[in-house]
Chains A and B, each alone.
Chain A
Amino acid sequence: MAEFLMYFTNGLVIGVINAISAIGVSLIVGIMRVINFAHGELYIFAGYFSYHLSLTFGLSPILAMPLSVFFIFLIGILMERLLIRPTYGDEMYSLIITFVLSIVLQNSALLIFGPYPNKPPALISGSTQIFGLFHYGNQRLLSFGISIGILLFVFYLIKKTWFGKSVRAISQDREMASLMGIDHWRINMISFGLGAALAGSAGVIIAPIFPVTPTGSSAISLTAFVVVVLGGMGSLKGCVVGGLILGILENLGAAYVSTMYRHIFAFIILILVLVFRPWGLFGQKT
C-alpha cells in the first residue's frame, strides 16, 4: 500500500509539472492558433538563466527564478513581434518559423551554455516522511506547491480578469472582438509572452530537480504536445487533466508493468485518444 501511494504521489507531482509545462503551449494554440515548437527551448533557457543568475552572478534563487521568467517573457514578446506577427492567418508559416526557431535556439544554447546539464541551487534539501509511509524529496514537494499556485493564477487570469475575457473573446472570434474595441495585436503579444513565461516558469521550477541540457528541449516540447493533444487543443482544464493522466499512468505503468517502457504508456493513450476522440478530452469538436 505504501508503495502504491508513493507511485501515485509521484505521478501526481510529475503530472502537475507536466501540466504547467503544457499550459503555455495550450494558451498560445487556443488564442492565436499558433503552435510554438520552440516551447522546450524557452524552458531550457529559463533553467540556464536561473542557474547563471544564482550561481554566476550570486543572486538569491528566490530572486533569480522570477527574474529568469521575466526575461523569457520579454523574449516571448520579441518573438511574437518579429517572427510570429507577420505569419498571422497562415498556420503553416508560423509552424515552420517556430520549428526553425527551435533548432536555432537549441544550437545557441549549446554554444552559449555548453553541452552539460546544469542544476540551479535547490531552495530546500532533504526529504520528508509522508504519513509515516514513505520518503519524498522536499524540493519536489515545494515545486508541486509552486506549480499549483501558478496553475491557479493562470485560471484566475483567464477566467476572472478583463484581460482573460478579451483573450477568450479573441479566441472565439477575432474579428468580432476587434470590432468591440479589443486591441487584438496587443492581446496577442501579451498572450504569447505569457505562454513563453509559463514555459519559463516550468523551467525554473523543475530545473533544480531535473537539470537542464540544451538537447533535452525536444523531449520537453514533446511531452507538452502530448499533454495538449490529450487534453484538447486550447483547453486549460484539459492541460491539467492530461498532465495528471500522463504522470500517474507513467508511474503506475513503470511500477506494475515495466520500468523500461515507461514512456510508452503515454503514447498508447495518445493513440487511443486520437483514434476515438481526436479533439481531445476537453477540446471542442470542430
Chain B
Amino acid sequence: MGRIVGSVLLAVILSMTSWALAQDTIKIGVVGPRTGPAAATGKAFEEGIAIALDHINAKGGVLGKKLEVVFEDTGGVPEKAASAFEKLATRDKVPIVVGESHSSSALAEIEVANRYKVPFIICEAWHDDITKKNYRWVFRAGPVNSGVVDFYIAPFVKENGFKKVAIVRENSDWGAGIAERTEYNMKNFGLPFVTLKVERESKDFYTELTKLKGENPDIILAYIYGTGLHFFVAQANEVGLSPKSLILDGAGPPSLWDSFWKNVGKAGDLELFISSMHEKVHLTPTSRKFWEDYKKKFGKDPSDYKTRSIYNVVLIAADAINRAKSTNNEAIVEALEKTNLEVTTGIVKFGLKQGSYEYHQWMPPMLVVQWQDQKQVVVFPKEAATGELKRGR
C-alpha cells in the first residue's frame, strides 16, 4: 500500500516539475548539418545560437520566459532533414523552426513545415524554389541563388573584364540552381563559358581540372559546398591551373572554415569567395554588438558568416513570437509578415507579393572577398571594397 502511495506521489511530483519546467521556457527548433561534408556549418550555427540566446534572454527572453533551442542534425541529407523537422514538429512541438544551409534538405523540410503548419525561417539555403513555392509557413532571411548571381557574381565577373568563365557545379539542388542562373547571365553578357558537373562527395578532381585546363578560363566559379571545395582548390594548384585562373567559391563558408588553410596550403592565396560578413563592414549597430559579443564569448573574431545568419533568424523568430504575444502558428506567421527588425545585415522586411521567389524573402547584402596573404580583402561591390582585386599570373 505504502509503495502505491509512494509511486503515485512520485508521479504527481514528476508531472508537476515537468509542468513547471515547461512553463519557464519556450523552445524553438533549429535544423542544420552537424555531421557530413558541411559539419562545420553546424558548429557555426551552435556559436551563433549561443550568442543570440544570451542576447535575447538578457533582455527578458520571449513572452517573459527563457528562450531555448532544440538543434536537430540533418547530416546534409534530405531524408534525414525531413525526419529531423518532423521530430521537432511532433515530439518537441516547437512553435517555430529556423536554420538550414543545404537547399536539398530545405526543399524536403518545407514540405514537412507545410504539412504540420509550422512556421520556418530559413537562413542559408539558397535555391529559388524554397520561397518560389509560395508556402505560407516558409520564410527566408538569407541569400537566394538568383539574387546572389544577378547582383553579385555576374556583375563581379563583368566589371572585372573576365574573358572566359568556367562554371563547376556539384550535383545538388543548390548547385544546379545557381549554375543555371549563372549561365543565363553569361549568355546575356555574351561571355563564353563552360559548365562542368561534379559529384558533391567527390575527393579527386584531377580529371575535371585537366578538362578545365584545356578550356583555359580566367575565372572559375566553383559551386561546391563542403570540404570538396578544399580538395578542388588544392588540386587546381597542383595541376597548374590556379592561380593563373582565379577561383571564386560561390558558397563562401568552406573558404572560411578553420580547416581551409590546413587543407589547401599556399593554393588558397588569391582565392575568392562570397560572404556577407567582414571585419570592417558593419551595416548596423547590431552587427558591431554581434562582433563584440562573439569575441567576448569565444575569444576570437567570428569567421564563418553563417554564425551571423543563424543569429539573425533566431532574433527574427524571438521578435515575431513577442509581437504575436503567443506561440500560435497563425499568429506567428502574421507577426513575421509584419517584421521590421534590425539585424546584423540590415533591416528585415519580408516580401509579401505572391508569384515569385520574392514572397516571404529578404536578402542581406553580400560581398565578394579575396584571400590576399591570408587576409580577407573585399573586392566587390565597389562601395564596400577594402582593396583591389589581385589577378593570377
A interface with B by C-beta (< 8 Å): 3, 6-7, 10, 14, 110, 114-119, 125-127, 134-137, 140, 210-211, 213-215, 219, 251, 254-255, 258-263
Question: 0/1 per residue, B203-215, Cβ < 8 Å to A?
Answer: 1101110110010
B326 touches A (CB below 8 Å) = no
- Do residues B211 and A3 form an inter-chain contact, with CB atoms below 8 A? yes
B392 touches A (CB below 8 Å) = no
Q: Known contacts A116-B39, A137-B235; decide if A211 and B207 are in contact (CB<8 Å).
A: no
Q: CB-CB < 8 A to B203: which residues of A?
A: 210
Q: CB-CB < 8 A to A214: which residues of B?
A: 35
List the A residue with the shortest CB-CB distance to B263: A119
- A43 CB to closest chain B CB (Å) equals 13
- Do residues B259 and A116 form an inter-chain contact, with CB atoms below 8 A? yes
Q: CB-CB < 8 A to B214: which residues of A?
A: 3
Q: Which of A6, A210, A219 contacts B204 (CB 8 A)?
A: A210
Given contacts A114-B39, A134-B240, 14 further A-B contacts (CB under 8 A): A3-B211, A7-B210, A10-B207, A115-B34, A115-B35, A116-B40, A117-B263, A118-B259, A127-B239, A135-B238, A251-B206, A259-B198, A259-B199, A259-B208
| Complex Cα gap A210–B206 (Å) | 12
Greatest chain B CB density within 10 A among A117, A125, A136 is at: A117
17 pairs, A vs B, C-beta closer than 8 Å: A7-B210, A10-B204, A10-B207, A115-B34, A117-B259, A119-B259, A119-B263, A125-B265, A127-B240, A213-B37, A219-B201, A255-B207, A258-B197, A259-B208, A260-B171, A260-B197, A261-B199
B328 touches A (CB below 8 Å) = no
Chain B stretch 19-70: residues in CB contact (< 8 A) with chain A: 34-37, 39-40, 42
Q: CB-CB < 8 A to B230: which residues of A?
A: 117, 211
Q: CB-CB < 8 A to B210: which residues of A?
A: 3, 6-7, 134, 255
- Do residues A210 and B231 form an inter-chain contact, with CB atoms below 8 A? yes
Q: Which of B36, B202, B204, B240 contacts A135 (CB 8 A)?
A: B240
- Do residues B262 and A119 form an inter-chain contact, with CB atoms below 8 A? yes
| Complex Cα gap A214–B206 (Å) | 24
- Do residues B204 and A14 form an inter-chain contact, with CB atoms below 8 A? yes
B384 touches A (CB below 8 Å) = no
Q: CB-CB < 8 A to A254: which residues of B?
A: 207-208
List the A residue with the shortest CB-CB distance to B265: A125
| Complex Cα gap A61–B184 (Å) | 48
- Do residues A213 and B238 form an inter-chain contact, with CB atoms below 8 A? no
| Complex Cα gap A129–B198 (Å) | 25
- Do residues B199 and A262 form an inter-chain contact, with CB atoms below 8 A? yes
| Complex Cα gap A260–B208 (Å) | 10
- Do residues A259 and B263 form an inter-chain contact, with CB atoms below 8 A? no
- Do residues A135 and B211 form an inter-chain contact, with CB atoms below 8 A? no
| Complex Cα gap A140–B238 (Å) | 10
Q: CB-CB < 8 A to A117: which residues of B?
A: 37, 227, 230, 259, 263
B196 touches A (CB below 8 Å) = yes
- B253 CB to closest chain A CB (Å) equals 13
Greatest chain B CB density within 10 A among A7, A110, A211, A263 is at: A211
| Complex Cα gap A126–B265 (Å) | 10
- B206 CB to closest chain A CB (Å) equals 4
Greatest chain B CB density within 10 A among A116, A118, A213 is at: A116
| Complex Cα gap A115–B214 (Å) | 36
- B202 CB to closest chain A CB (Å) equals 7
Q: CB-CB < 8 A to A127: which residues of B?
A: 237-240
List the A residue with the shortest CB-CB distance to B201: A219
| Complex Cα gap A150–B291 (Å) | 51
